[in-house]
Amino acid sequence: AGDGDCGHTHAQAARAIREWMRSQPPPAAPAPLLSALADVLLEQMGGSSGVLYGLFLTAAARSLRGRSDSPAWADAMDAGIEAMQRYGGAAPGDRTMLDSLCAAAQALHSLRSPGADPLQVLAAAVQSAEAAAEATRHMEAGAGRASYIRSSRLEQPDPGAVAVAAVLGAVLEGLR
């Protein structure tokens, strides 16, 4: 959005997660892990991004309770996006982090196919998120901080969309 706030809040979140991981072993099961991450982000990240990530992770964690198969992760992504849309008011095409998340979710739907390779599917999701983030460069902002700025001044991709793609890329690299 031009003021560095998105980068600052994501750096703050990374530091908070690192400190949390140093202070205690993270939960091994997916649902408690995502719930704990949601709490950390809601308490420490700040800004609307912290709230939105917290909503996303809380809904995703609820969706994963008692499940950890590949299709469950696609369902969790959809649940998280639905929560962000319901409470945040943005939609795909509004030049927000949802553009990257929704593109990644479409790719993750392949996890519902028998025999899908989770790492290959996640790699495709990361590529989709990166392409969607780049596509925000030419979008009119319909929500978020960028919606308060004249379109002619928005020359870069949406920072939230870029951040989502980077986070998904980091998850992929961590899993590899």
* Cβ–Cβ < 8 Å for 175, 136: no
| This model's pTM is above 0.95 | no
Q: Which fold has domain 5-175?
A: 1.25.40
Segment 30-64, tens digit of pLDDT: 999 999 999 999 999 988 889 999 999 999 999 99
Q: Please give the structure tokens belonging to residue 148.
A: 């308060």
> For residues 104 and 112, what is the distance between their CA atoms, to the nearest angstrom?
14
* 56-90 per-position pLDDT tens digit: 999 999 999 999 899 999 999 999 999 999 988 88
C-alpha 67, offset from chain centre: 20
pLDDT at position 90 is 86
Contacts of 111 (CB under 8 A, 6+ apart): 70, 71, 73, 74, 118, 121
